[in-house]
Structure 1
Amino acid sequence: MGIGELARLAGVSVKTVRFYSDEGLLPIAERSSGGHRRYGRQALERLRGIRDLRALEMPLPEVAAVLEDEPGGTGLAAALTARLAEVSGRLSALRWREAALRALAEAPGSERPALLRQLGALPQPPDTGALARFWRRVLPVRLPSRVREAVVDAAVPDLPRDPTPGQAVTAARLHTLASDSGFAADVRRANGRTVGRGDLVRLYDGLGNAYALGAAKLDAGIEPEPGEALDAFAGAFAQGHGEADTPEFRVGLLTMIRASDDPRLGLYWRLVHDLQGGGPATMGAAHAWLVAGLACSAPTPAPALPGHARVSASDGAAGEQWT
């Protein structure tokens, strides 16, 4: 059949048939004596298949792969999975844009310029790259990559796919905070003083266990107290510093942690808590619970620094220096 008849039967334009032919998706059976393209009957089903796949916005390379796959093969399933992932990502990006627009529309006029600056700095579509880079900068250089990535995974929250306007603002504030190079430098120096020069793997593995125990206590509504979680916390630092976990060591540990405290990390963990819509205690909240327990159990309480608030189990957003 000629190109016009093929286009009519498939419900597409002649220009479309010519394009697919030139791209190699639609083979030409022969040419007439006048040089016109002629197509076999199998070209009609192939053209309809191309039309249907392109209606799903499937790229031409994927269309070609599907067409060359055996009937009932995995090519179409793989292509559909890829398209679903792409569409889902685009929808999520639109939901984030809607949430940001609503946040700006609902904000008082005097606050909109500053809010617009923060929301405008958030990547589109939003991601947590700045947060991951922050933690990789502040962690000790000699920390093994396995441990480093475990800390990053625990410290960087997942972004909601369907955010509220408040969560969009929170994500923008987190991005701004984590992008502050001065903040990262201060935390890196504080961590250097706190972790010491001992066995970092034992220190961080022990802290991971202590934070898990502390978070479980916090989620259960238990006030800071001596016990397994606190022993794991102090023991991790003792092992990391190559010292014995004695009452005197705990007093010194409490003083050292409080001296390294940075209120901006407390803000970071509160924002993470808000972004997650509440839920389980954050790692920062678990740290604060353990430090409060350390203060309660120390035989000679270390002096409280200004603004160092007591942590209660009901304050799931609390957080301070995470070492």
Structure 2
Amino acid sequence: MSADSMWSIGELAAQAGVTVKTVRFYSDRGLLPEAARSAGGHRRYGPEALDRLRMIRSLRTLDLPVPDVGRVLDEEGALEDVIAGQLRELGTRMAALRWREAALHLLQDCAPEDRAARLRLIGGMSTPPSTAPLARFWRQWLPPRLPARLTSTIIEHAVPQPPADPTPAQVLTFARLHAFVSGPCHGGRGQHQPTAHRRDEGYRPTVLYDGLIEAYALASPPLLTHRAPHEGQALDCFVAAYAHSAGTRDTPAFRRRLSGMLAADPRIDRYWHLTAELTDPSQPTAGAAHDWLCAALDAQVAEPAA
């Protein structure tokens, strides 16, 4: 390429309609390689630099970071990956903005005397909120050394996902849920755990939770149709989960003992009530299924005394 067919940095800037500072910026970052240097050491560019500079400007109008622009220019097929990454990032940012907007409406629309308390609640979580504190709560609440696949299944069903476009009421509910799992005594083991979580009571938690998952699924249909708690397959599966995990038989005496044990166990009703406000009504929470089954058991063991 002859010297006459090359441009100085100023000429290239004029051709592209940008400043010399812009051309120098991209050159210094390796996005716009110079073709040669003049005798005086000044940068010289060929006509292909103009097309490359125009491409850089087009990519930058989309707010692509400079490293991503370099990838698109130098790696075949990189544009598709970069676009996908930017769309994911943009989705995250937009979700954060929607949560902030709903949180601001929550504060704007409440009574002035409630704003300070609600502001403290909202300030206790990120926007959009992370589900990590909720998952951590369950890892602490569940019996130790459960198989990973069982723990994952329980957490997947017990932890509600933040809505992408929340209402102010959903923001408040999520904030209350985060405050609950972050409060004192919640999620601790030992004296705050249900009896069946304690190894010294002789229960096998893996057997128990495998059975409870099945029992809760069986209890969902009558819950959805608002049937009163009653005997049947769901209750039998529920009791069998406790009996098998304890290495004993399902007998009337065992059912009476189980009814008393479950009535004395610590409860996390607040968690399930808040979770129900955030989940699809067609999918009853495990807490609702557990309460329905406990009520069915209590009704059954009370019959002889009636």
TM-score normalised to the size of structure 1? Answer: 0.86
Q: Is the 8 A contact 2:32 2:53 kept in 1?
A: yes
Say if 2:246 is the partner of 1:244: no
How far is 1:134 from its partner? 0.7
**What's the counterpart of residue 319 of structure 1?**
none
Alignment length (residue pairs): 296
Deviations 1:208-259 (A, max 9, x none): 1111111232123332221111111111111111111112111111111110
How far is 1:171 from its partner? 0.6
Three-state SS of the structure 1 residue aligned to 2:229 is: coil
Say if 2:137 is the partner of 1:134: yes
Q: Is the 8 A contact 2:196 2:205 kept in 1?
A: no
**What's the counterpart of residue 206 of structure 1?**
211
| AA aligned opposite 2:151 | R
CA distance in 2, matches of 1:179, 1:161: 23
Deviation larger for 38-47 or 173-182: 38-47
Deviations 1:3-49 (A, max 9, x none): 22322333332212111111111111011122221111221222222
Residues 36 and 289 of structure 1: CA distance in aligned 2, closer, same or farther (over 3 Å): same
**What's the counterpart of residue 69 of structure 1?**
75
| AA aligned opposite 1:274 | E
- In structure 1, which of residues 191, 194, 203 is the aligned counterpart of residue 193 of structure 2? 191
| AA aligned opposite 2:191 | R
Deviation larger for 55-64 or 230-239: 55-64
| Residues 252-271 of structure 1 aligned to structure 2 (within 5 Å) | 252-262=257-267, 265-271=268-274
Three-state SS of the structure 2 residue aligned to 1:275 is: coil
How far is 1:161 from its partner? 0.7
**What's the counterpart of residue 275 of structure 1?**
278
What 5-or-longer segments of structure 2 have no aligned partner?
A: 1-6
- In structure 2, which of residues 199, 213, 220 is the aligned counterpart of residue 215 of structure 1? 220
CA distance in 2, matches of 1:67, 1:20: 12
- In structure 1, which of residues 49, 55, 64 is the aligned counterpart of residue 55 of structure 2? 49
Greater Cα radius of gyration, structure 1 or 2 = 2
Residues 44 and 242 of structure 1: CA distance in aligned 2, closer, same or farther (over 3 Å): same
**What's the counterpart of residue 285 of structure 1?**
288
Percentage of matched positions with identical amino acids:
47
Say if 2:146 is the partner of 1:146: no
Three-state SS of the structure 2 residue aligned to 1:201 is: helix
What 5-or-longer segments of structure 1 have no aligned partner?
A: 303-323
Residues 131 and 188 of structure 1: CA distance in aligned 2, closer, same or farther (over 3 Å): farther
CA distance in 1, matches of 2:61, 2:107: 36
**What's the counterpart of residue 179 of structure 1?**
182
What is the RMSD of the two structures over their aligned residues, measured on CA atoms? 1.9
